[in-house]
Amino acid sequence: MEGCSSKKRINFAELCAEEKSKKLFDTLKEAIVEQLGVEEDEVVMEANFFDDLGGDSLDVVEVTLALEEELEIEIPEEDWDEFETIERAHSFLMKIVE
């Protein structure tokens, strides 16, 4: 079917906290790997988006837009600074999907 996505949306409300955290981290990692072209093993909680992964402010925009689409959420521009580290981004996203 043209225009249909074969990727099933994640219903975070149905997941336990541990599953939710893992799925969210995997989604965040996928967006970062795709946007920045880094290796998956580089995207760890301790990584700094700018210093460790080589991202810039435009990359933050692209990652947040990809996450908004994938997770069907809205990330206000004033919250983009939460994406300084992977851990901060993950914590921020966990609050949104709860």
User: Which of 4-8, 55-59, 86-90 is least confident?
Assistant: 4-8
Amino acid at 92: F
Query: Residue 15's pLDDT is what?
Result: 79
2: pLDDT strictly greater than 90: no
Q: What's the chain's length in residues?
A: 98
Query: What mean pLDDT, rounded, does the chain reach?
Result: 89
* Domain annotation for the chain: domains and CATH numbers: 24-97 (1.10.1200.10)
Concerning whether 26 is annotated as a catalytic residue, the answer is: no
For 81-90, what is the mean pLDDT? 93
4: confidence class by pLDDT, cuts 50, 70, 90? very low
12: confidence class by pLDDT, cuts 50, 70, 90? confident
Query: Residue 39's pLDDT is what?
Result: 97
Give one DSSP letter per residue of 6-74, joined into a string.
-SPPP-GGGS-HHHHHHHHHHHHHHHHHHHH---GGG--TT-BTTTTT---HHHHHHHHHHHHHHHT--
69: pLDDT strictly greater than 50: yes
Q: Which of 56, 59, 79, 81 is catalytic?
A: 56
Q: What percent of the chain has pLDDT over 90?
A: 71
Identify the CA nearest to 77 among candidates 86, 69, 68, 88: 68
